[in-house]
Amino acid sequence: MGRRIGRLGLVNYRVHPTEKSYHVFNFYDPAHTAIFEKELNKENVSFEKSDDVIKGETVYLYAVHDRDYEKATRANYAVSAKTRKMIIPNVILRYALILFFFGAIAFAVMGYLNSQ
């Protein structure tokens, strides 16, 4: 979901700087904004949207009132779920790694049982 805002940089939302009863969600990708807006509309959440250019990049901002914060958070999670990428994109490597770890666990259990 692009760059994050917040104290630790872990989330892409924060309390509005001047209007404390609103949360502002930000996105750097137009595809993510389309998904977020679609999810907000599906939940009947009213919002205000804007865009801004920061350091040469367009940032899409959505302000959501506190009463709809939970629904907006679910919409934000939906964006993450629909746009996430696999940690290990190569299927063969992914399953080889899983098999390696299960094999290591099996050898550890067999070694423990043989030492008894």
> For the chain, what is the mean pLDDT?
89
Section 16-24 average pLDDT: 91
Q: Give yes or no for residue 2 having a pLDDT over 60.
A: no
pTM, full prediction: 0.70
Rounded to 10 degrees, what is the CA torsion of 70, 73, 77, 83? 140
| CA proximity to 65, closest of 86, 93, 44, 80 | 44
Q: What is the pLDDT of residues 59-103, one digit of tens each?
A: 899 999 999 999 999 999 999 899 888 888 999 999 999 999 999
* Residue 1 pLDDT level (bands cut at 50, 70, 90): very low
